[in-house]
Amino acid sequence: MEELQIRNLAQRRVNEVSGGQLQRACICRSMMMKPEIIFADEPTGALNQTAAQEVIEAFLRMNCQGSTIMMVTHDSRIAAMCERILYILDGEIQGELILGKYTGNYVGRYIQDDRREREQKTSRWLEHMGW
């Protein structure tokens, strides 16, 4: 809960938290047992930019510790943080982009040049795919 900045929600009822807070609580619950794989369907969809960044950084840390994160997202900036991107259209894989791991520190902020370069590469690839 501390990692996702929701420790203050521990004693609240479900009807006393916002949608974004509930989203982070659900993500926290999925991470508690350090699973081998996490399936995340639009995990940042209901979150503001800061909360979304915290969730992605937590996923990246878990990935460094051995967990696989399989995520669905329509956010190209979030996709650019992934090692591998599959473009799926009507249930069929149309293309794949391999970006590899970040070269920066996974625990703190990422090297901005690397992030910017990955976002540009992802954007160009998605445009080529017709997105």
CATH number for 47 = 3.40.50.300
What is the band of 106 on the pLDDT scale with cuts at 50, 70, 90? very low
Residues in the chain: 131
Say if residue 49 is in the same domain as residue 60. yes
- With 0-12 / 13-18 / 19 or more C-beta atoms within 10 angstroms meaning exposed / middle / buried, residue 43 is buried
Say if residue 57 is in the same domain as residue 4. yes
Tokens of 70: 């399989």
What mean pLDDT do residues 7-34 have?
A: 84
Of 48, 73, 98, which marks where a domain is finished? 73
Give me the helix-helix angle, 19-31 and 49-64, nearest 10°. 0
Instruction: Report if pTM > 0.85.
Output: no
Higher pLDDT, 45 or 6: 45
Say if residue 80 is in the same domain as residue 68. no
Query: For 3-111, where are the alpha helices, taking DSSP H only?
Result: 19-31, 49-64, 76-79
What mean pLDDT do residues 44-48 have?
A: 87
What mean pLDDT do residues 66-83 have?
A: 93
Q: Is 38 within 8 Å of 62 (Cβ atoms)? A: yes
Q: What is the identity of the amino acid at 70?
A: M
Give me the domain span that covers residue 109. Answer: 76-131
Say if residue 21 is in the same domain as residue 65. yes
Share of the chain above pLDDT 90, in %: 41
Say if residue 96 is in the same domain as residue 61. no
Q: What is the pLDDT of residue 126?
A: 96
Say if residue 69 is in the same domain as residue 7. yes
